[in-house]
Chains A and B, each alone.
Chain A
Amino acid sequence: MSDSAAAGIDAVYRTESRRVLATLIRLLGDFDLAEEALHDAFAAAVERWPAEGMPANPRAWLVSTGRFKAIDHVRRRAKLDELTAINGVRLHWSPSMESDPIDCIDDDGVEDDRLRLIFTCCHPALNPDAQIALTLREVCGLTTEEIARAFLTPAPTLAQRIVRAKAKIRDAAIPYQVPSRADLPERLGVVLHVIYLVFNEGYSASFGGALTRHDLTAEAIILARLLVELLPEPEAVALLALMLLHDSRRAARVSDEGEIVLLDDQDRSRWNRVQIDEGLALVDRALTSRRFGPYALQAAIAGVHAQAATAGATDWSEIVGLYDVLLRAERSPVVELNRAAAVAMRDGPEAGLALIDAILARGALADYHFAHSARADLCRRLGRTSDAVASYRRALELTQQEPERRFLEGRLRGITA
């Protein structure tokens, strides 16, 4: 095969393989069968395109070739009516198996299939770990090994999670469809949550040696972009904005030695202006919709930070005000903690400390290391050294992340020296 033909197929694979898979899942009604069909379709392309030339519509060619190969495969394994009897459930949502698929693969149809795939992978009836694994596998096209590495989970565990999820989709008949208007807010919430968990795992890896895992933040942003393109709901727009604004600080958040650099100390010239500009525009778009929710408020807070030329120029009153609104939308102790930290910046450490102590006194966040490190930091600024030492130690006991540990140890050395 010539290099240019190979490069052509490679490019089609990169841009079309996930779309083709999404449509094949609908046509064949089975994830595994569709994956196999996708593989067979590209194998056929490698064989035929160099000689015959690339078809005018490669996507349609791949879909109908894959579908043909799958039906052929199924027929060879068993007669179709027998299979229907044995696997009635499997073929349950594949009424179009015998119909001509060409009319189903116009651009709109294909984009609908991608959205169906996202909502099926993030169905609330699936275990949350499985939602993440399945989304990265089927929507993003990551291999099981890549996902296992990103989440520091043994590959067999992850593979089993995916197998179980696919079995539940088939056996419980989780439909391949975009939810109805009435169900959309709840169902979209799950999708956004899955995307944000993937992002956060990459942005602030919850355990392990490195602070960030860029592969996961990048995948989360790609997913959010896709979702915004397919379903431009304000909260989806806002989540994309939030992630872009956080990710814009990536280069400045970690020193060359791999140590944490706090927001105040970051070299703001290293922030990614392109991501900030896009993020701010998206925040505006979400807020002006007037149907915004917690993600838009969090994105607006990130936007205030992004707009401050120096740490000292940060508009803390604006940030506290946004946290007030966020608390009304989403009463969570973590939001309260973040608000307390903002109050400390606006009104001084004493005011912030009183709020954090009140949260801890209620018994909330007792095992959350950031609560103790935030408390330690305010005590340190107030010169209450022994309180600061105790809280840094508590935070150290709770953190499972190596750079965070080194950071806290550094702070502890700094005040006890």
Chain B
Amino acid sequence: MRYLCLIYDDERNWAKMPRENADAMSTEYFSFTESIKKSGQFIGGEALQPTPTATTVRVRSGKVSTTDGPFAETKEQLGGYYLIDASDLNEAIQVASRIPSARLGAVEVRPILEFASANM
């Protein structure tokens, strides 16, 4: 099973964080990523630029509208993701709980919708 782990936290915390804490966090992320690569659970993952860089695009009646900022204003923003391979939800939860940001924000674990054609 593939699961997408969406990492949400308050991006202002990152901006406010003292240098050494940010470095420690980065090191933790690095070693976490290494560990799930080694275990074969890692499929992909990226960190995102903060929401001021976001652009929301909609098409209505054939017309493209572009607005500044993320789709929803929330206290915690999508800051990155991991796509993982896990045998079941318990294993996925176990991996998600080791993502460093889970301690500060939250990780949403979503199973990937597999289409039949993908298996054939």
Contact = CB atoms under 8 A, between A and B. Distances in A.
A85 interface: yes
A86 interface: yes
A203 to B, nearest CB: 33
B41 to A, nearest CB: 14
Contact of B89 (A85, A86, A125): A125
A172 interface: yes
Interface in A163-196: 171-175, 177, 179, 183
Contacts of B93: 125
Contacts of B120: 85
Interface residues of B, number: 12
Contact of A89 (B87, B90, B109, B114): B114
Contacts of A92: 1, 88
Interface string B1-17: 10000000000000000
A175 B119 contact: no
Given A89-B1, A92-B1, A173-B1, A183 B90 contact: yes
Contacts of B109: 172
A278 to B, nearest CB: 35
Interface residues of A, number: 16
A47 to B, nearest CB: 37
A177 B111 contact: no
A88 interface: yes
Interface in B94-116: 109, 111, 114, 116
Interface string A84-106: 01101100110000000000000
A175 B111 contact: no
B90 A177 contact: yes
Nearest to A176: B88
Nearest to B110: A172
A173 B89 contact: yes
Given A93-B88, A172-B89, A175-B89, A85 B119 contact: yes
Across the A-B interface, give the 4 residue pairs with the lowest CB-CB distance, nearest first: A175-B88, A173-B88, A172-B111, A174-B89
11 contacts: A85-B116, A85-B120, A86-B116, A93-B88, A172-B109, A173-B88, A173-B111, A175-B87, A175-B88, A177-B90, A179-B90
